[in-house]
Each structure stands twice: as structure tokens, then as C-alpha cells.
Amino acid sequence: MNLTQNTTKIYFDVASIRKDFPILSRTVNGRPLVYFDNAATTQKPQVVIDAITKYYTHQNSNIHRGVHYLSQVATQAYEDSREKIRAFINAEKNHEVIFTKGTTDGINLVANGFGRKFIGAGDEIVISELEHHSNIVPWQMLCEEKGAVLRVAPINEVGEIVMEELLKLLSPRTKLVAISHVSNALGSVNPIKEIIKKAHDLNIPVLIDGAQAIQHTKVDVQDLDCDFYVFSGHKLFASTGVGILYGKEEFLNKMNPYQGGGDMIKTVTFEKTTYNELPHKFEAGTPHIEGGITLGTAIDYVNSIGLENISAYEQELLEYATEKLSQLEGIRFIGTAKEKASVISFLIDGVHPYDLGVILDKMGIAIRTGHHCTQPLMQKFNIPGTARASFAFYNTKEEVDVFIASVIKAAAMLK
Ligand code: PLP
């Protein structure tokens, strides 16, 4: 067996894991695919692809409404998946798990359902400089509508939130803190537990954007004690167009629904509508049923490997790639926080990241280039963008070697 190991640890059989992901054996531009764009979206294992086919072959029906057999089968599968997700993030209650379209949708839900009700003129929302546009723009829109103020905690030169500065921003005016768990552009892992604790000391609720954390590390929402936690299915080896908002029951119950329509109501007359119980109050309309069900399948798959193993293996890949890349002439890393997930953003002197990305693509290597939906962060570093390689547990050191040899070749062509 080709076990992936360092001197002390054996995590899992990466060669056999790679066989679970059919796309990894394809070629791109005549070369074996090296997929290092996992922060943008992850590839799907065969079990998830099979579950999608199974749903449309054997289970397809609308949920929650039908008395007929297929509707009950689909409803059961959807609700079973909600329970798997609850267990995965250790939410206390099943109805604290709301299906959404993804991270962006979850943040917009909270901005509308919580923000429009509880945030008013002169109130403040605290975010950080390293947020994704999804965790900036919905708050800006809310502030504009309500006359509230967006306060931004700075980061230091290595890409870590400056805690003392963030704490200085918390005051009786602060009505919400919204912070990412892991930065998509830099890989920094933020000290969210500490931030949540400090905010709670002042009775300030906290939303965590977990889009870049949920696939790398164990998330326990009760241990974190966050009030909201959002993530996307497609970054967790499941479909696009489905995601999760975890919210504490006490907040979800107090919030207004985000959208009106079918499923989210108890009674409707032309005079008045009463809303359904949680979680349905926030799930208007026919949802992404297949996506919801197969997110549960993806979670089963991740559990079968173990997030501890995934984290440890990805850390090893990160260290290996960082060490090798640091030997390249003219390289500059953007984001060198002490705690990092498996994301490397970099620039090479005299080489535009876009050109590097195009040439690497010709060599079968997928990386991301540009501002990574973090324009204010790029402005902070005074750069237009970076080249970003982001790893998942199906990537290998051999792929890192191919990537580095290709970067050297591409840089020589471009300089
Ligand atoms: N937040 C972070 C940190 C992200 O990395 C992303 C996507 O890259 C998002 C939010 C938005 O996720 P989605 O486009 O799946 O809604």
C-alpha cells in the first residue's frame, strides 16, 4: 500500500483516496490535472456523484408537502441529512441547522433577518480587513439602509487580526461581530474562540464565516459558542448551490424571515401571515433538495477519513510546499500567519500572477489568480492580486513538485 506518511504518522492511503475522485485522473491540456484551486471549490468523490444520480433515479420529488411515497422518501433523506450536518458541527438542535444556497446566502440571511430588525442608526458592526466580499458587502448594504457604521479591525503584516485593535472597536454600540474562521486569500486561521468570548463578555453576538474552515478542521459550534456559523456545500466536496446557516435557536426565533413564500408559513390570509417553526421559517420555496441530501453524503465521506487526519495531512502538504516555494528566487508570500490552513498566496518579482496562472493552466495546473474577492485586503498589501495555490487532502507532494517545477519554468518564460 502506498501510505502517505512522515517519520511518525500515517494518515491515510492518499493513492486510494485519489481514486475516489474521478476528475483527478483526467488530463488538462495534455497533462495530468494538478488541481490546486480547492479554496474556490472542491472536487466531488464518486459517492457524492452516485448519490446525486441515485436521488434523480430513485427519490426525486418535492419535500415536506406530499402524502405520496416519493415525497416521503425525499423528505426523509433531506431531514436525515440535516441531522448528519447537526452532528458534524455539533449543533445542539436539529432546527438550528438552516439550509441555504451557500455562505453568501447565509450571511445575507443574517444581515436581513437579524440586521434589519436589531441594527439601527448609529449602531456598529465589526468585521476585519481580511474578509471576503461576502462578509463585507451585505453589512455595507445594511449600514447604508439603517445609518449604521461598519468598523474594520486591522491585520498585521503577516495577515493576522490585531486582537488589541479589534477589542478596542467593541463597545455598547457594537451590535454584531462578523469574522471569517479562515481567510480565503491568506490562509490565516483567526482566533475566533477568543473573539467570540470577548464579544460575549459585552453581550455582542458573533457570526463566523466558515467557508474556508469547515473542510479543513473540526468545527464544534457549541464549543465555539458562536451565534451564527455559515458555510458552503461545494467547498466541502458536495454540490454548488447548497450551504448551511447554523444559528442559536434564541436568535433564529427572534429574527424575521429573510424570504417569503411556500414552506416558511403556518397560515396565510390576505390580511396576515403567520410563520412556520424553525428551521422552515428560513427555508422559503423549494430548496436544493438533491444538494441538501448529498451534502450529508459528503459529510459521511469526510467522517470516514477523519478531519484530524485531513488537518494533519494538509498541514504537512502546506509546510512542504511553503518550504520548497521559499527557495524560489524573487518569491514573496502574502500571508504568513503562524496559524494557517492549506492556502499559499504568493507573488514572484517581475511576473504578473495572471500570466503565471495562464501558463500553469497550459501545463495542466489549476491555481487561482487575482484579488480572491478580497479587494480591500489586496489594497492593504498594495498589490492588485496574488497567485494562490490551495490544497485538499487528495493532493500530494508529487503534485507540489510538479507545480514548483512548472512555476520555475513559467517564471523563466515571463521574466
Ligand atoms: N467567505 C469566504 C471566506 C470564502 O472563501 C467564500 C468563497 O470563496 C465565501 C465567503 C463565499 O462563498 P460562496 O460563494 O460559496 O457563497
Please state the atom number of ligand 1 nearest to the C-alpha of residue 184: 5
- pLDDT tens figures, 31-65: 999 999 999 999 999 999 999 999 999 999 999 98
Task: Report the SS3 class of residue 178.
Answer: strand
Interatomic CA distance for residues 257 and 276, integer angstroms:
10
Catalogue the active-site residues. Answer: 373
| Nearest CA residue ID for atom 5, ligand 1 | 184
Q: How confident is the model at residue 382 (pLDDT cuts 50, 70, 90)?
A: very high
Separation of CA 372 and ligand 1 centre (Å):
10
Q: How confident is the model at residue 10 (pLDDT cuts 50, 70, 90)?
A: confident
Report whether residue 209 contacts ligand 1, using a CB cutoff of 6 Å: yes
- pLDDT tens figures, 324-365: 999 999 999 999 999 999 999 999 999 999 999 999 999 999
**Position 3 pLDDT exceeds 50:** no
Q: Are 279 and 98 in contact (CB under 8 A)?
A: yes
Q: Give the CATH architecture of domain 3-45+306-414.
A: Alpha-Beta Complex (3.90)
Q: How confident is the model at residue 1 (pLDDT cuts 50, 70, 90)?
A: very low
Interatomic CA distance for residues 413 and 407, integer angstroms:
10
Interatomic CA distance for residues 299 and 295, integer angstroms:
6
Q: Listing from the earlier edge strand, what are the strands of the sheet with 331-333?
A: 331-333, 343-348, 386-390, 368-370
- pLDDT tens figures, 117-148: 999 999 999 999 999 999 999 999 999 999 99
* Sequence-ordered strand ranges (E) for 44-181: 97-100, 124-128, 149-153, 174-180
| Nearest CA residue ID for atom 14, ligand 1 | 104
* Sequence-ordered strand ranges (E) for 84-214: 97-100, 124-128, 149-153, 174-180, 206-209
| Domains 3-45+306-414 and 49-303 are alike in CATH topology | no
Separation of CA 274 and ligand 1 centre (Å):
33
Please state the atom number of ligand 1 nearest to the C-alpha of residue 234: 15
Separation of CA 266 and ligand 1 centre (Å):
32
Could you confirm whether domain 49-303 is CATH 3.40.640.10?
A: yes
Q: Are 143 and 121 in contact (CB under 8 A)?
A: no
**pLDDT of 9:** 60
**What single letter denotes the amino acid at residue 139?**
W
Domain spans of the chain, in order of start = 3-45+306-414, 49-303
Share of the chain above pLDDT 70, in %: 98
**Position 2 pLDDT exceeds 60:** no
